[in-house]
Structure 1
Amino acid sequence: MDRDAFVSALTAEGFAEFVLVRRDAGELEEHAHPFEAKALILTGEIHIRTGGVEHVYRPGDVFHLAANAPHTERYGPQGVQYLVGRR
C-alpha cells in the first residue's frame, strides 16, 4: 500500500491524527498506548509481539494495534520509519 492510499483509507475509517515516527535500532519493553493505531511501514522493519506472537513488518506492510493492547517493539538494524494513524 502506498502512503496516499493509506491516508485515504484511514481517514475513511475515522482516523484524524497522523504522525511520522522514526526509531533507531533497538527495542521497547512491554507497554500499551491509550489510542488505537494503524501504521504503514515506510523504511526499515519493526517486530511487534502481542499475545505471545511476534510479527515482522517491512516497507509497504500495515500493522494495527488496539487501544491499550500490551505489546513489545523491536526495530531492525537500520531502524524503522512509519506513518501512523491514531484514534
Structure 2
Amino acid sequence: MTFDTFRAQALARGFDEVLERQWAPHTVLDEHTHPFAADAVVAAGEMWLTVDGQTRHLRPGDTFALERDMPHSERYGAQGATYWVARRNG
C-alpha cells in the first residue's frame, strides 16, 4: 500500500487528517493521551505500543488504533520508525 492509498481510504472512512510520522531511534514517549482517535500502519522500523498494560511489538505492515484520550506509551527501535496515521479530531 502507498501513503496516497492509505490517505484516500482513511478520508473515505471519515478521518479528517492523515500524516506520516517519523521517530528517531530509541525514542521513548511515556504514558500520554491524544485529543483525537487514531488509526495507523507501521511503514518502516519497529515500535512497541503499550495500552492497558499490554505491549505490542509492531513492525512494517502492522496496524494499531487508539481511541481519543486513550492512555498509552510508545517506544521506538534501533532504526526508529515511520508510520502513517489517520486522525479523527473533535
Q: Fold-level match, TM-score > 0.5?
A: yes
* Residues 2 and 60, structure 1, Cα contact 8 Å, conserved in 2: no
Distance in 2, matches of 1:59 and 1:2, equals 13
Partner of 2:61: 60
**How much has 1:4 moved relative to structure 2?**
4.4
- The 8 Å contact of residues 46 and 58 in structure 1, kept in 2 or not, is answered as yes
Identity %: 41
Give the number of aligned pairs.
87
Aligned to 1:22: 22
Q: Secondary structure at the match of 1:36?
A: strand
Q: Tell me whether 1:49 sits opposite 2:50 in the alignment.
A: yes
Say if 2:9 is the partner of 1:9. yes
Q: How high is the TM-score relative to the length of structure 2? A: 0.87
Q: Is the CA contact (8 Å cut-off) linking 1:3 and 1:40 kept in structure 2?
A: no
- Structure 2: which 5+ residue stretches go unaligned? none
Measured after TM superposition, the shift of residue 20 of structure 1 is 1.0
| Distance (whole Å) between structure 1 residues aligned to residue 56 and residue 8 of structure 2 | 25
Runs ≥4 residues deviating over 2 A: 1-9
Distance in 1 separating the partners of 2:17 and 2:27: 26
1:29 & 1:12 partners in 2: Cα distance?
Answer: 32
Q: Which runs of 5+ in 1 are unaligned?
A: none
